Structure 1
Amino acid sequence: MATTDQEKYDALLKLTQDDFQAFLYDCDGTLADNMGAHTDTYIRVAAEEGLVLDGAIIDEFAGLPIINVVEQINTRYQTNLDPEDFKARKYKIFLEEYIDHTQPIEYVVNHLKNHAGTVKIGVVSGSSRIAVERTLKILGILDLVEVMVCAGETIHGKPYPDPFLKAAELLGVDPQHCLVFEDGNAGVQAAEAAGMRWVRIDKV
C-alpha cells in the first residue's frame, strides 16, 4: 500500500526532533518535484550535440552543479561538451519551458513551513540562484528561507562541504546543530563532510 504524504510527514517529523538550530534543505528533488524536468533538459541539450544521453546519469550525480555533471558526462561518454555553454542552454530551456510547472514534494515543503520561525531555515542547492529563487517562489516558501547558497557561490560545490558550511556560517549556527535534507548522494556526502546530520528524502 502506498505511503501517504501525512505518513511521510509524520516519519520525517520523528527523524528531526532533536536540538537542531537550523534545517538546511536541498531544492531540486527535495523540496521541488522537478528532477524529471532537469533530466529532460539535460537529454535535450545533449541531443542537440548528437549525444543520446541515458537519464540515469542525472540521478547518479544529483546535487552536483551542472558544470560538474557535464564533466562527468564527458568522462562517461568520451565527449567534449562545453560545460559553460551546456549550462546556459540547459537553463534557458528549463526556465522558459519547465520551471513554471514545478510541483512541491508536499511533506518536505510542509516540514519547512511548519518549522520556519522555530529553527533557522536555509536552502543549499547545486542550481543557479535565479532558478532556486523562482522555484521557491512557485512553491510559496521563498519568504521563509533565511539563507540560500547556490551553484558557484563557494569554491567547491557538493560533494564538498563548502556550501553547507557557508550556510551554517551565514545563519550563525554551529554545523553540529544543523540538519540537512537531501535526495542525492553528493549532498549526503557534503553533509557528512561538513559534520552535519542528514535525512535522505525518497524520490517516490
Structure 2
Amino acid sequence: MSGPSSSPDKQALLTRLSTGNFDAFLYDCDGTLADNMGAHKASYRAVAAMYGFELDDAIIDELAGWPIVQVAGEIGKRYQVDFDPAVFAQQKNILYEGSFIKETKPIEFVVAHLKAHAGKVRIGVVSGGSRASVSKTLRLLGISQLVEVLVCAGETPNGKPFPDPFLYAAKQLSVEPSRCLVFEDGIPGVRAAEAAGMRWIRIDHL
C-alpha cells in the first residue's frame, strides 16, 4: 500500500495507467480506497477468539472482496468450527463498526485519483462489505458525496469473484461493462472484473 512519501509517485502512475476511453471508474473500498485491512483482520480475529480458535490473517487476504458472511462460512469449514456464518458476520461487523473502524485511514493516492476524476467519469464503489460499514468508511474518507453508485454485500445474487456486483454497478450507471475500469486490491475482485468484461488495475501491485 502507499506510504506518505510514495503517494505522489503512485498517484501519477495510477493516472497514467487509467488513461483511456473509459466512462466509469469502479473502486473497491477496503484495501483499495481505505487503509483498514488491519482493522478488519483484528475484528475477524476477535470473533474467532470468542469461538475458541486462533485465526490466521492469511485467509482474509486470500478471500479479500468476498462478502463477509461467505468469508465466515469458509473460516468455519477450514477450521472445522461449528458456528452460524451469519451470526459470525454480524458479530464481526458489530466489533468493526463499534471499535475498529476509527482506525481507518485513506490510501491517499487512490482517494486522490477518485477525487480528481469525479465529474469527468462516473464513479462507483463495489465492495464485499456491508452497506452500513462501507457508507461509514466513505464518509470517514470524505468522498461519500462523490460516489454515484454503491454496491455492497448481499445486493446481487452472487458476490465477488462472480461478476454480478460489477455488472450491477455498470447497469445502475448506464455504462457498458467494456467502458468501465476497476480498481482492486484482491484477487477475487480482479477475477470478478475480468468475468464482467472490465479492465482492471491491481492497487496493491503499484
Q: What TM-score comes out, normalization by structure 2 length?
A: 0.96
Tell me how far apart the structure 1 counterparts of residues 81 and 92 of structure 2 sit (CA, whole Å): 17
2:159 corresponds to which residue? 157
Contact kept in structure 2, 1:65 and 1:151, CA below 8 Å: yes
Match of 1:39 among 38, 41, 46: 41
Give the equivalent residue in structure 2 for 1:88.
90
Deviation at 1:100, TM superposition (A): 2.2
Cα contact 1:20–1:177 (8 A) shared by 2: yes
- Partner of residue 104, structure 2: 102
After superposition, the C-alpha distances for 1:121-159 in whole angstroms (9 at most, x for unaligned) are 000000010111100000000000000000000010000
> In percent, how many aligned pairs have the same letter?
58
Structure 2 residue 206 is the aligned partner of structure 1 residue 200: no
Alignment of 1:162-201 (within 5 A): 162-201=164-203
TM-score normalised per structure 1? 0.97
Whether the 8 Å contact between 1:151 and 1:157 is mirrored in structure 2 is yes
Distance 2:135 2:76 in 1: 29
Q: Aligned residue pairs: how many?
A: 203
Q: Quote the RMSD (CA, aligned, Å).
A: 1.2
Q: What is the distance in 2 between the residues matched to 1:14 and 1:203?
A: 15
Flag as ranges the 4+ runs of structure 1 deviating above 6 A. none
Inter-partner Cα distance in structure 1 for 2:77 and 2:89 = 17
Partners of 1:29 and 1:203 within 8 A in 2: no
Structure 1 residue 72: Cα displacement: 1.4
Q: Which runs of 5 or more residues in structure 2 are unaligned?
A: none
- Unaligned stretches of 5+ residues in structure 1: none
- Quote the Cα distance in structure 1 between the aligned partners of 2:116 and 2:64: 26
Match of 2:115, SS state, is helix
Partner in structure 1 of residue 147 of structure 2: 145
TM-superposed CA distance for 1:203, in Å, is: 7.2
Written as runs of structure 1 = structure 2, the 5 A alignment for 1:67-82 is: 67-82=69-84
* Maintained 8 Å contact 1:42/1:90: yes
